Each structure stands twice: as C-alpha cells, then as structure tokens.
Structure 1
Amino acid sequence: MSVTELPQATTGGLYTEIQQFYARQMHLLDDGRVEEWAGTFTPDGVFAANAQPVPAVGREAITAAAAAATEAYARAGVQRRHWLGMVSVEGVDDGVVRARCYALVIETPQGGRPEIKASTLCEDRVVRVDGAWRIEDRRITRDDLI
C-alpha cells in the first residue's frame, strides 16, 4: 500500500468521526470541563505521558490529574489550548482503532502573547463503547523529552 492510500476501513466516515471526537475532547479539556473530558476515556482507561513519572489509570485518576492542572492554569491566569493535526486513523478491527496525531499545547497568559509550550506525539487506542468513542489507552510523548 502506498503512503497516500488509506485502508478501506479508515476512509470517510470513520476518519470524520475520530476527528470530531478529538475536537470535542480537546474543547472539553481546554474549557475546564475535566469530568466530561475524563468521561471520554473508558472506566479503566490509561493516560501515560513521558513528562509524568507514572500513568494515570482509570477515570478517577485521569479526572484528578486533569483537574489539578486545570486549576493551576486558572490560578496563574493562563488559557491553555490544544491544537491537534496530522491525524492518522488505522482500523484494527470492528469498534477499535489506533489513532496518531501531533498536538501543540499553546499557553496564553492573561494580557500576554500565546506561546507554544509543548510539541507532542499522541498515540491512542480508541474503542467504541455503547455507540460512542472512548480512549482506552493514550500515550503522549513530548518532543523535548525524547
């Protein structure tokens, strides 16, 4: 298969669904709606990042970690945004996909200029649960830490 070809299972509708899922998920996080954001993970989901010593496992731990970060940004008067691009989607089997994208984390202090704080690779195992997409396993790799 050439680089420009996508497997049939990852064309059209599936790719659009995953793109929309990511957009909604990042809007929730950037808006500070951490419980709803954590709800986009499976109950036993994993959020691992090379910037963190141990992964957050399960929605409760994922919620707590996101809430702590969100509260710290709010106290500092910083708006954080995530910009995802170069999304690729590979169908593994029915109801399970692997998605990979680049994510930029942009921070804007109140009254200040935006700054790219991190460039990352995001690798997800995304599963369909009761008709909705959920992250089962997320691996974040910050480029400056590899």
Structure 2
Amino acid sequence: MTATAVRTEVYAQVQHFYAHQMQALDGGRFADYAATFTEDGTFQHSPGVQPAVGQAGIVAELVEFHKRFEGDPVQRRHWFNHIALEPQADGSLRSTVYALVVTVRPGGKPEIAPSCVVHDVLLVTDEGVRTRSRMITHDQLV
C-alpha cells in the first residue's frame, strides 16, 4: 500500500486541531466546537441521523443530542488516533481517524463505547484548519 505523504507540519497542525476540537466537544462548548467547521460544514455523528448543516445547525444538533445526559454526571472523552491524511485534488485533505469514546461517571470505571471511524474533509489555510464535512461510522453497526 502506498499513501501520499503530507508535510510533517501539516500532520502536526491537524493533530493539534483535533485535540482542541475534541476538548471543546467534551467540555460542552458546542459553539466553539461548531466554529471548527466551515460556515457550510456538515456533521453526521450517528447513522440514520440527517447531517447537521452549518455552524448553527451543528450547535442545535449537539444540544439536542446531549439532552439525553441531563441529570447524568457523565464525562465523555473522545480519543482520536491513527490519523490518516490524504491530499485531494481540490487542496483539501481527506482524513480518516479511529475514535474511541470513553465514558465515566463519578465512582465508576471508564467504559469505552462506541468505537468509531471518523471520515472528515479538512481545509488547511493560513488561518488554520476547518472541517468541511464529518461523517462518523460506528463499528458495532458494521
């Protein structure tokens, strides 16, 4: 298998971007998370759910999704690893990432679920990295 390499600086920039993006999500800072997408970005976090479109749509989707955790002192951590970047003809990057979601409640043991693959299209500009589209597939549903 031959993979097209990206510059080390770009790879590190994407890792840094993902770290801050996931910390915003896990911290419940949904507007900050949505701001990591392009204005017309799309976000599909669960199979069968229509993609949220635009930053306001992403915030609304996250608020609705997280209502299931109201009154539950759960902490969720999204762990991204094995980031594979492929340059595209239009200058974007196709990013495929393995993701684990770690869930823990006070006094409990961490649980890992779900195991996912994140399929992103990223734009890297002088102003930073932005997600143009994200589709997440869940391993337990394959």
Task: Give me the TM-score of the superposition, normalised by structure 1.
Answer: 0.87
User: Is the 8 Å Cα contact of residues 48 and 139 (structure 1) preserved in structure 2?
Assistant: yes
Q: Which residue of structure 2 lines up, in the alignment, with residue 19 of structure 1?
A: 15
When structure 1 is superposed on structure 2, of 47-56 and 116-125 the one drifting more is 47-56
SS at match of 1:76: coil
Q: Which residue of structure 2 lines up, in the alignment, with residue 91 of structure 1?
A: 87
Give the percent of matched residue pairs that are identical in Structure 1 and Structure 2: 37
Spell out, residue by residue over 1:8-33, the C-alpha distance to the aligned partner (whole angstroms, 9 max, x if none).
Answer: 4x131111111111111001111111
User: Is the 8 Å Cα contact of residues 38 and 63 (structure 1) preserved in structure 2?
Assistant: yes
Q: Which residue of structure 2 lines up, in the alignment, with residue 47 of structure 1?
A: 43
Q: Which residue of structure 1 lines up, in the alignment, with residue 138 of structure 2?
A: 142
Structure 1 segments unaligned to the other structure (5+ residues): none
Q: Which residue of structure 2 lines up, in the alignment, with residue 31 of structure 1?
A: 27
1:81 to 2:77 alignment: yes
Q: CA 1:66 to 1:107, structure 2 compared with 1: closer, same or farther past 3 Å?
A: same
* In 2, Cα distance between equivalents of 1:52 and 1:61: 17
Structure 2 segments unaligned to the other structure (5+ residues): none
Q: Which residue of structure 2 lines up, in the alignment, with residue 57 of structure 1?
A: 53
Spell out, residue by residue over 1:84-137, the C-alpha distance to the aligned partner (whole angstroms, 9 max, x if none).
Answer: 111111122475111111000111012211101200000100013561211101
Task: Give the AA of the match of 2:84.
Answer: S
* In 1, Cα distance between equivalents of 2:110 and 2:26: 14
User: Is the 8 Å Cα contact of residues 46 and 138 (structure 1) preserved in structure 2?
Assistant: yes
Alignment: residue pair count: 142
Task: Give me the TM-score of the superposition, normalised by structure 2.
Answer: 0.89
